[in-house]
Amino acid sequence: MTEIQHQSDDERRLAELGYKQDLARSWSGFSNFAISFTVVSILTGGLASYGIGLANGGPITMAWGWPLVSVMVLFVGLAMAELASAYPTSGGLYWWASELGGPIWGWFTGWFNLIGQIAVTAAIDYGAAIFTTVVLNVIGLDIGTDRTAIFLVFAAILVLHAVLNAIGPHLSAVINNVSAWWHVGGVAVFVLVLGIGAQHHQSVGFVFTKTVDNSAVGFGGVAFSFLLGLLHAQYTFTGYDASAHMSEETHDASRTAAKGIINTIVVSAIAGYLLIMAVTFAIPNLDDSLDPTKNSGYPVIYILQNSLNSFWSGLLLIIAAAAQLFCGYASVTSASRMLYAFARDGAVPGSALWSKLSARRVPVNAVLFISVFAFILLIPSMLVPAVNAPTAYAAATSVATIGLYIAYGIPILLRQLHGSRFHTGPWQLGRWYRPIGVIAIIWIVFISLLFILPTDDHGYPWVDGFTWNAVNYAPITLVGVVGAIAVWWFVSARKWFTGPKRNVPEPPEAEAPVGA
C-alpha cells in the first residue's frame, strides 16, 4: 500500500492542504472544545473585567449587554466554524485568509492574530495575577496587593505556563479537560454560594434598570456608556479560535474544530450569564463597588469580600484564581500553535527557530516567544508611574479584543467575496453563510471602532480631571505595531512572503477539497 493509503482521513486532508503530520494528533473532540472553553474562561474575563462593564453602563450592562454580545459573537463563531471545517490547519485564520485572498491578506491577518494572541495571554495572566495575589494574602502570605506584587506574580505565572506547555501535548489535553469541568463546577458553586449566602441581594429592578453614566464625551449619555461597557463581555468572548489552531492535533478535525468553536460560545454564553447575574445581584453597595479607594480597581473582589464571610469569599476567590490559571495556560498553548504555523511559512523573523518542534513534538521555542512578549507588553504597568494595574489590564484587553476580532473578520470577509466558489468542509452554513457573515463583519467593525475609546471619562483630554491613568493605550499600541508591520510588508516582505508553503509533495491526482 502507498503512504497515502496508510494515512488517516485527517492526515490525508492535511496533506491536501500542503502539510505533513508533524504535531502529535492525540486530542479528542472534547479536548478541542475544552481548550477554547478554557481560553474564553467566563471565570476569567467575566470576573476580571467585570469592573469595565459595571463602571460603563452599570448593572444594565451585565443584564442586557452580555446577551447582546453573546448573540453577535455567535454570528462570528458560525462564520469561523465553516472556515475551520474547510481548512483544518494550525494556522487557522492566517491560512484561511492566505488561501482566499493571497499573501497580503494572510500577512496582515496573521500579524493581527499574533498580536491579539500575545495581548490576550498577557491580559489573562495579569488578571490571574490580580486574583492570585489576593488569594495569597488571604491564606496568610502577606505579599501585598500593590502593582509590584501583582507584576511579580504575573511573571511567575508566565514562567509556570511556559514550563507546563513544554512538557507535552498529552498533558495539555488532560489539563484542559480538567479545566472545562472546573469551569462548569466553579460557576455552579458561585451561583449557589452568592444566591444563598450573600448578606444582601439587589432587586430585579436594580439589576435590569440601574444605570451608570460614565461616557463624558458630550453625547450619548447612558446609552454610549453602555456601549463602552460591552468590552467586558466582548473581551471574555475571545480565544475560541483555539479550536482551529489545535486542528492538527485533533481527531476528525474538519468536524470537531467547527463544533468546538460553536459549543464554546453557546456554553460560555449561558454559564457566563448565570455567573455575572449572581455577582450583580450580590452587589452590596453600587457606589462603594465603583469607588477605587474601596475596591482597589477590582469590583468583583470587593463584592465577594463584602457580601460573604471570609470562608466563602476566600473559596470563591480560589476557584476564580485557579480557573484563570487554567485559562492562561490554554492561551499559551493556542498562541504557540498559531505562531508555529505562521513561522512554518516563513512569516516571522527567526522562523526556523519558532517552528522547531521538541522531541515531544511541542513548539517549545514558540511557547517561549509568546510568554516573553506577553511579559514585555505589560512592563509599563511596573515601570511607568502613570500606568496603574487597572489601566494596564484595560489596555491589554482592548488590544487583545481588537487584534483578535480583526483577524477573525478578514477571512470571513474573504469568504463572502468568494461566494459559491468557496469549497466548504463537512460542517457548513449552506445558504445562510451570506447573512451570517455580513452581520459578523458589521459587528466586528463596530466593536473595533468602539473599543479604541477610553472606558473612563477621565481618559478624554477635554474632560476636567483628565489623567493619563485613564487613557486607553490600545490605539497607540495598535497603530504603532500595525504601522510597523505595514511598512515591513511594503518595503520588504511583499518581495519574499508568498503565503503557505507546502512541506509535502503535491499528490499526482489530488482529490478535490472536502465538500467541493
Which residue type sits at 321? A
Check residue 187 and give its pLDDT: 96
Asked if 66 contacts 354 with a C-beta cutoff of 8 angstroms, the reply is no
Of residues 401 and 69, the one with the higher pLDDT is 69
Check residue 203 and give its pLDDT: 95
Whether the per-residue pLDDT at 390 is higher than 70: the answer is: no
Under the banding of pLDDT at 50, 70 and 90, the label for residue 511 is very low
Percent of the chain past pLDDT 70, that is, above it, reads: 91
Check residue 457 and give its pLDDT: 67
End-to-end CA distance of the chain: 26
- Tell me the mean pLDDT in the region 103-114: 93
Place of cell 473599543: 451
Check residue 228 and give its pLDDT: 86
Residues 6+ apart with CB under 8 A from 15: 4, 7, 504, 507
Check residue 400 and give its pLDDT: 83
SS3 239: coil
Of residues 218 and 123, the one with the higher pLDDT is 123
Average pLDDT score, the chain? 87
Under the banding of pLDDT at 50, 70 and 90, the label for residue 433 is very high
pLDDT digits (tens, 9 = 90+) for 8-46: 888 889 998 888 888 888 889 999 999 999 999 999 889
Q: What angle do helix axes 299-307 and 310-344 make, rounded to 10 degrees?
A: 150
Check residue 380 and give its pLDDT: 75
Whether the per-residue pLDDT at 199 is higher than 80: the answer is: yes
* Burial of residue 132, with CB atoms counted within 10 A of its CB: 0-12 exposed, 13-18 middle, 19 or more buried: buried
Check residue 389 and give its pLDDT: 64
- Tell me the mean pLDDT in the region 54-77: 95
Cell readout for 387 is 500606568
- Of 348, 290, 404, the closest CA to residue 107 belongs to 348
Enter the pTM of the model.
0.88
b/e burial code for range 22-51 (CB count within 10 A of at least 16 → b):
bbbbebebebbbbbbbbbbbbbbbbbbbbb
Check residue 1 and give its pLDDT: 40
Instruction: Compute CA distances 24 → 37, 173, 244, whole Å.
Output: 21, 11, 15
Instruction: Compute CA distances 177 → 38, 79, 85, 333, 386, whole Å.
Output: 9, 26, 22, 14, 40
Under the banding of pLDDT at 50, 70 and 90, the label for residue 2 is very low
Which residue type sits at 106? G
Whether the per-residue pLDDT at 512 is higher than 50: the answer is: no
- Tell me the mean pLDDT in the region 410-415: 96
- 10 Å Cβ neighbour count for 102? 13
